[in-house]
Structure 1
């Protein structure tokens, strides 16, 4: 399953972001700490590198992520040029309060009456940007919702006297190359429900949990994980929760919803869907699969050409 979701307003938001970047001193990119690279929009990196702007990567929802994986991701990003990292939960005021001073250190030549520090907050849908904005300004300035893509236009706001924040709409990108990225984004509620099949997303999530966090599944639902696959996880959830349809068969649709909500809310425990190591392995696997696909395509094209010549 290859998930794609790029509504028209996102294309308009990308063009507006490119214009605003010219007058920006610092990019704050909000990522989901449970899937930092899968939730990193490559268009953000392209825009800020084109303008040579430093970036503060906010690993949000770190209270829901595996702390060991978050530590590895912080080191991964910190090693990149002009990139800095803060792992936070934007629901914790103490975490949020670290951000302004951190940003000021990254742009010491700004933040004075004649030169306010201009910051642009970017990220994918439903990653917590609006909640972060409200926490930073200590008032409700951005609409918060449980569905992705609530914010659709830029907002320019002032954080104190000498700091300007530009809040941008959540943006995905036109083509999600790796299918696993689309599934991770869907599992984490960054994709509109009209673009996904919940059972496929939940079965994918169940497979990751079996591989990395079987003890959390057993603890939450009370079943043994040996011999199961992703669909088997959904069947076990349905059995344990008494979710059946007419005729007595498991209601996998409801079981899928239960598993996804438990993951998203943190009820399952602290879970990361990717680590730097698993990301590298996924990239290598994807490159190999793509090379094999292109080889087969070339062979088929060659065979067709030979048939046409013979005819």
Structure 2
């Protein structure tokens, strides 16, 4: 299943962001700590690198992510020029209170009356940008919702006298190159429901969990995981929760939805779906699918298998 989701307002948001970047001193990019690189919009990287703007990468929802994987990601990003990464939860005021100081450290020549620090908050849909804005300003200035793409227009707001925040709409990119990225984004609720089939996304998630967090499945749902696949996990959830259709068959759609909700809420435990090492392995082994008219190429099974290898422990 290849997931693509790029509503029309996102293209307008990209153009507006490119215009605003010219007068921006610093980019605050909000990532999902469970899937940092999959949730890192390449268009954001292109825009800020073109203008040579420093970046504060916030790995949000770190309280839901595997702390070992998060540490590896912080090391990975903090080794990059012009980048500082921090893991936090935008729902915790004490975490958010650190952000202005971290931003100022990346642009120490700004934040004075004659030169206010101009910051643009960017990221994919439903990653927590609006929650961050509201927490920074200590009032509700941005709508927060459980569905992706709640924010559709830019907002320019003042954080104190010498800091300006621009909140941008959540943007994906026109073509997600790696199928597993689309599935990770969908599992983490960054993609509109009209662009996915929940049973397929939940099956992918279940297979990833079997490889790296099988004990979490047993602890949550009470069934053994030895020798089963992703579809069997969905069936197991349906049986344990007694989800049945009117005809008596198991309600796999409801079970799939439950698994996704339990992952998204953290009820399953602290889970990361990728690490820097697994990302490197994906890029090294991925073979693009054959397009119609291009003829036959080598078997892609190796690349597809590589995407689901267990996450290397740091």
Deviating 4+ runs (over 6 angstroms): none
Query: What's the counterpart of residue 297 of structure 1?
Result: 294
Distance, in Å, in 2 between the alignment partners of 1:214 and 1:237 is 13
Distance, in Å, in 2 between the alignment partners of 1:106 and 1:38 is 24
Shift, 1:207, TM fit = 0.3
Gaps of 5+ in 2: 298-314
Distance, in Å, in 2 between the alignment partners of 1:91 and 1:174 is 30
Query: What's the counterpart of residue 105 of structure 1?
Result: 105
Query: What's the counterpart of residue 144 of structure 1?
Result: 144
Distance, in Å, in 1 between the alignment partners of 2:9 and 2:108 is 35
For 1:141, what is the secondary structure of its paired residue? coil
Distance, in Å, in 1 between the alignment partners of 2:234 and 2:43 is 35
Distance, in Å, in 1 between the alignment partners of 2:201 and 2:102 is 37
Gaps of 5+ in 1: 301-311
Distance, in Å, in 1 between the alignment partners of 2:25 and 2:283 is 32
Query: What's the counterpart of residue 173 of structure 2?
Result: 173
1:239 matches 2:236: no
Query: What's the counterpart of residue 69 of structure 2?
Result: 69
TM-score by length of 2: 0.92
Q: Which structure 2 residues correspond to residues 1-311 of structure 1 after superposition, within 5 A?
A: 1-286=1-286, 289-290=287-288, 293=290, 297-298=294-295
Shift, 1:50, TM fit = 0.1
Native 8 Å contact 2:290 2:296 kept in 1: no
Shift, 1:177, TM fit = 0.7
Shift, 1:299, TM fit = 5.3
For 2:11, what is the secondary structure of its paired residue? helix
For 2:290, what is the secondary structure of its paired residue? helix
Query: What's the counterpart of residue 300 of structure 2?
Result: none
Shift, 1:249, TM fit = 1.8
Distance, in Å, in 2 between the alignment partners of 1:55 and 1:105 is 11
Deviations 1:161-214 (A, max 9, x none): 000000000000000010000000000000000000000000000000000000
TM-score by length of 1: 0.93
Shift, 1:280, TM fit = 1.4
Report the aligned-residue RMSD. 1.4
Deviations 1:116-137 (A, max 9, x none): 0000000000000000000000
Distance, in Å, in 2 between the alignment partners of 1:210 and 1:248 is 28
Higher helix share: 1
Native 8 Å contact 2:9 2:152 kept in 1: yes
For 2:108, what is the secondary structure of its paired residue? coil
